[in-house]
Amino acid sequence: MPRYELMIETHFAAAHSLRDYPGDCARLHGHNWKVELYVECGELDKLGLAVDYKVLKNELKAVLKDWDHYNLNDIAPFDTINPSSENVARVLYEEMSRRLDDGRIRVSRIVIGETCTAKVTYWP
Protein backbone atom coordinates (compact mmCIF):
# COMPACT_ATOMS: atom_id res chain seq x y z
CA MET A 1 0.00 0.00 0.00
CA PRO A 2 1.41 3.42 -0.88
CA ARG A 3 2.21 5.78 1.98
CA TYR A 4 2.70 9.52 2.10
CA GLU A 5 4.67 11.22 4.84
CA LEU A 6 4.38 14.97 5.31
CA MET A 7 6.67 17.08 7.49
CA ILE A 8 6.51 20.56 8.88
CA GLU A 9 9.07 22.22 11.07
CA THR A 10 9.02 25.07 13.51
CA HIS A 11 10.79 26.15 16.65
CA PHE A 12 10.18 27.49 20.12
CA ALA A 13 12.39 29.01 22.80
CA ALA A 14 12.24 27.58 26.31
CA ALA A 15 14.35 27.04 29.38
CA HIS A 16 14.74 23.84 31.35
CA SER A 17 16.94 22.09 33.87
CA LEU A 18 17.43 18.37 34.32
CA ARG A 19 16.74 17.28 37.88
CA ASP A 20 19.48 15.07 39.42
CA TYR A 21 21.66 15.39 36.32
CA PRO A 22 25.36 15.16 37.26
CA GLY A 23 26.55 18.11 35.20
CA ASP A 24 25.89 21.54 33.76
CA CYS A 25 22.39 20.67 32.50
CA ALA A 26 21.19 20.53 36.11
CA ARG A 27 21.33 24.33 36.04
CA LEU A 28 18.60 26.36 34.39
CA HIS A 29 19.48 27.05 30.75
CA GLY A 30 17.64 27.73 27.51
CA HIS A 31 17.41 26.39 23.99
CA ASN A 32 15.91 27.37 20.69
CA TRP A 33 14.21 24.02 20.22
CA LYS A 34 13.65 22.85 16.64
CA VAL A 35 10.56 20.69 16.07
CA GLU A 36 9.80 18.45 13.10
CA LEU A 37 6.33 16.93 12.94
CA TYR A 38 5.81 13.97 10.60
CA VAL A 39 2.34 12.74 9.60
CA GLU A 40 1.61 9.70 7.44
CA CYS A 41 -1.33 8.80 5.27
CA GLY A 42 -2.21 6.05 2.83
CA GLU A 43 -5.20 7.65 1.15
CA LEU A 44 -5.54 11.19 -0.17
CA ASP A 45 -8.71 13.24 0.18
CA LYS A 46 -10.85 14.41 -2.76
CA LEU A 47 -8.50 17.38 -3.30
CA GLY A 48 -5.50 15.07 -3.55
CA LEU A 49 -4.17 16.05 -0.10
CA ALA A 50 -3.17 13.92 2.85
CA VAL A 51 -3.84 16.89 5.13
CA ASP A 52 -3.56 20.63 4.65
CA TYR A 53 -0.19 21.88 5.90
CA LYS A 54 -2.11 24.77 7.48
CA VAL A 55 -3.89 22.32 9.80
CA LEU A 56 -0.57 20.81 10.89
CA LYS A 57 0.97 24.22 11.48
CA ASN A 58 -2.01 25.53 13.45
CA GLU A 59 -2.26 22.47 15.70
CA LEU A 60 1.46 22.42 16.41
CA LYS A 61 1.46 26.16 17.10
CA ALA A 62 -1.45 25.70 19.54
CA VAL A 63 0.51 23.18 21.58
CA LEU A 64 3.81 25.06 21.51
CA LYS A 65 2.28 28.39 22.59
CA ASP A 66 2.09 26.97 26.12
CA TRP A 67 5.81 26.10 26.04
CA ASP A 68 7.31 29.02 24.11
CA HIS A 69 9.32 31.41 26.32
CA TYR A 70 8.59 29.44 29.49
CA ASN A 71 10.59 27.29 31.87
CA LEU A 72 9.44 23.78 30.91
CA ASN A 73 10.03 22.58 34.49
CA ASP A 74 7.04 24.73 35.53
CA ILE A 75 4.64 23.16 33.01
CA ALA A 76 2.84 19.81 33.38
CA PRO A 77 3.96 17.09 32.91
CA PHE A 78 7.51 18.44 33.13
CA ASP A 79 6.86 19.63 36.67
CA THR A 80 7.05 15.93 37.62
CA ILE A 81 9.19 14.38 34.84
CA ASN A 82 12.49 15.70 33.54
CA PRO A 83 12.09 17.93 30.48
CA SER A 84 14.77 16.03 28.58
CA SER A 85 14.68 16.14 24.80
CA GLU A 86 13.43 12.56 24.87
CA ASN A 87 10.51 13.39 27.19
CA VAL A 88 9.69 16.58 25.29
CA ALA A 89 9.53 14.57 22.05
CA ARG A 90 7.30 11.88 23.58
CA VAL A 91 4.90 14.34 25.22
CA LEU A 92 4.64 16.37 22.01
CA TYR A 93 4.03 13.19 19.99
CA GLU A 94 1.23 12.16 22.34
CA GLU A 95 -0.45 15.58 22.23
CA MET A 96 -0.17 15.91 18.46
CA SER A 97 -1.55 12.38 18.03
CA ARG A 98 -4.58 13.29 20.15
CA ARG A 99 -5.17 16.33 17.96
CA LEU A 100 -4.48 14.88 14.50
CA ASP A 101 -4.92 11.10 14.32
CA ASP A 102 -8.26 10.43 12.64
CA GLY A 103 -8.04 6.96 11.11
CA ARG A 104 -6.83 8.27 7.76
CA ILE A 105 -3.83 10.26 8.94
CA ARG A 106 -1.62 9.70 11.94
CA VAL A 107 1.43 11.28 13.50
CA SER A 108 4.34 9.03 12.57
CA ARG A 109 7.18 10.69 14.49
CA ILE A 110 8.48 13.80 16.16
CA VAL A 111 12.05 15.08 15.95
CA ILE A 112 13.25 17.52 18.60
CA GLY A 113 16.55 19.37 18.40
CA GLU A 114 17.97 21.20 21.41
CA THR A 115 20.87 22.45 19.31
CA CYS A 116 21.83 22.25 15.66
CA THR A 117 24.00 19.20 16.45
CA ALA A 118 21.84 17.28 18.96
CA LYS A 119 18.37 15.90 18.28
CA VAL A 120 16.11 12.99 19.17
CA THR A 121 13.43 11.18 17.19
CA TYR A 122 10.40 9.66 18.92
CA TRP A 123 7.92 7.20 17.45
CA PRO A 124 5.96 4.47 19.25
Structural domain that includes position 10: 4-122
d(CA 43, CA 33): 32
- Asked if residues 35 and 73 have their Cβ atoms less than 8 Å apart, the reply is no
The average pLDDT across 68-84 equals 98
Find the DSSP H helices in the chain: 53-64, 85-100
Q: What's the total number of domains in the chain?
A: 1
pTM of the model: 0.96
pLDDT number for residue 74: 98
Task: Report whether pLDDT(18) > 80.
Answer: yes
CATH label of the domain that carries residue 87: 3.30.479.10
Task: Report whether pLDDT(1) > 90.
Answer: no
pLDDT number for residue 2: 82
